A and B are shown apart, each in its own frame.
Chain A
Amino acid sequence: MNQILYDPTGETNSVFRKPQSLPTNLWNKKVMLFDIGKPRSKEFLDYFEENLRQKGLVPKRAAKPTNAKTAAQEVIDFMVKEADVVIGALSD
């Protein structure tokens, strides 16, 4: 007689959501630099921002307090409202 086992997994597969295409440049876009909360992320983004400003861009900043959690809804709402492009850093 065959044996029956029950699946211990979540039995789910996510439906793939196609992201928007990257813009072809940033100059006419609102750019947001998003600090994901890892140690040295802020320091890295300070240098990164400095470089973008030297090239004529004026990025805004957003942050979450820890890399260990997703961003609070207010932070997400802020980025959605204020940015065309969000660059999150630095995941290491």
Chain B
Amino acid sequence: MFLVTEEFQDAASIQCKALGFEPAIYWMPHPVQNRTPEELRQMAKEAAEGVLEMMTSNT
């Protein structure tokens, strides 16, 4: 699965269609590049929890 920021939903969808493959994607807030280390740490924490929840809700 991939972690992708929300701004790339269209691009991801089109690329998946073009390549004929659709992996699981966890969508994250955009942007990332200008986040402080503390903000990035918090985003990672939320993403970790979100990914685990995606798994368990897949039962």
B40 contacts which chain A residues (CB < 8 A)?
40, 43-44, 47
B20, B21, B55: the one contacting A23 at CB < 8 Å is B55
> Known contacts being A55-B52, A90-B28, is A40 close to B33, with CB within 8 Å?
yes
Q: Flag if A44 contacts B55 (CB, 8 Å).
A: no
Binding site for A on B (CB under 8 A): 1-5, 7-8, 12, 17-24, 28, 30-33, 35, 37, 40-41, 43-45, 47-49, 51-52, 54-56, 58-59
In the assembly, what is the distance between CA of A14 and CA of B19, in Å? 6
Given contacts A21-B58, A47-B40, 11 further A-B contacts (CB under 8 A): A15-B20, A17-B20, A22-B1, A22-B54, A24-B59, A47-B45, A51-B48, A51-B49, A89-B47, A90-B3, A92-B5
CA distance A26 to B58 in the complex (A): 12
Q: A39 touching B33 by the CB < 8 A rule?
A: yes
* A88 touches which of B3, B33, B41 (Cβ 8 Å): B3
A49 to B29, CA, bound (A): 19
Pair B31/A92 contact, Cβ less than 8 Å: yes
**Are B3 and A89 interface neighbours, CB within 8 A?**
yes
A86–B2 alpha-carbon span in the complex (Å) = 8
CB distance A91 to B4 under 8 Å? Answer: yes
Closest to A24 in B: B59
Taking CB atoms, residues of chain B closer than 8 Å to A47 are: 40-41, 43-45
